Homo-oligomer: A and B are copies of this chain.
């Protein structure tokens, strides 16, 4: 059989290391498409001149574009037979990526747990993205519910990894060079609010909304060489639970992040992903809104140039966020689609 239908739960074994296919050179074309798909406006990624003025050697590639490319490679090997994408944890952006860098990904199976129904199981992996020099640029854990090939096969020995609830501040600076803040122009950056201007508990409605079209999320997901069928095959989707194509969850994260510029214009770098939940699916024609809550403020050991904000980024569909919708009792409120917890760096 020359065609791969992807791994089933039985095919994963603890400690397996999978080398994912198709290394990918990131180009100015990818960056332009990322801009066209989401409309980010952070000056550091948008302008070579701005990036160099504050101490970067060149404009870095958007952290989420790096995430999507690194993640996309894992799909054919990890999640082609996934029932659900359950979560992320301990995501760390450890080195900036620049145009011209080539990214590749490996994943290690770090946990396995059969679901009670016996027809699927949770696979935990640690995925690592490296550049052409072998440097780790991104490391994150992820767990997915994967179908079994044969519902009757015996369960693997169960092993659930312990994953940090949040990345500790001491590694948050690794993906950010020392900044020369004398070169930081707040007007060009688009915000006069720096790290010290945000307070724990502060909630920010990002105001704007963005409607998603089928062509847009398909272009994005293919750009990341992510092959999950649910995003592309409307014919097969007719017989699925939703009857239509599902939008890649990472598309929602990128939209919400781009919207968050309005209110978080100086939060130029995603240093870490503490966790993320795709609460409900997004479909073409829906409009995404977002709001943020400041969960924590942290200094970075030994650095006076930047500080970190731990942010909850909530995205909704067809529901403006002036009221900061999140939960109703224990449940997520209708319309909430993403609950994302990350660390961003801002100039001090």
Contacts from A to B (Cβ < 8 Å): 2-5, 19, 21-25, 27-33, 35-39, 41-43, 46-50, 59, 76, 100, 102, 104, 132, 185, 187-191, 193, 197-198, 202, 204-211, 213-216, 218-223, 225, 227, 229, 232-236, 245, 262-265, 285-287, 318, 320
Contact = CB atoms under 8 A, between A and B. Distances in A.
Contacts of A193: 2
Contacts of A24: 46-47
Nearest to A18: B187
A35 B2 contact: no
Given A3-B262, A211-B235, A214-B215, A41 B225 contact: yes
Contact of A4 (B50, B213, B214, B262): B262
A233 B214 contact: no
Contact of A29 (B27, B214, B232): B27
Contacts of A222: 35-39
A4 B262 CA distance: 6
Given A21-B41, A36-B222, A210-B232, 16 more contacts: A2-B264, A21-B265, A22-B188, A25-B47, A25-B48, A29-B31, A30-B35, A32-B32, A33-B36, A35-B225, A209-B229, A210-B233, A211-B235, A213-B218, A236-B287, A236-B320
A192 to B, nearest CB: 9
Contact of A23 (B21, B46, B214): B46
B187 A209 contact: no
A226 B28 CA distance: 20
A142 B176 CA distance: 40
Specify which of A19, A22, A76, A202 lies most central, judged by the most chain B CB atoms within 10 Å of its CB.
A22
A189 B43 CA distance: 36
Contacts of A229: 208-209
A241 B43 CA distance: 34
Contacts of A48: 25, 100, 102, 132
A31 B35 contact: no
Contacts of A23: 43, 46-47, 49-50, 188
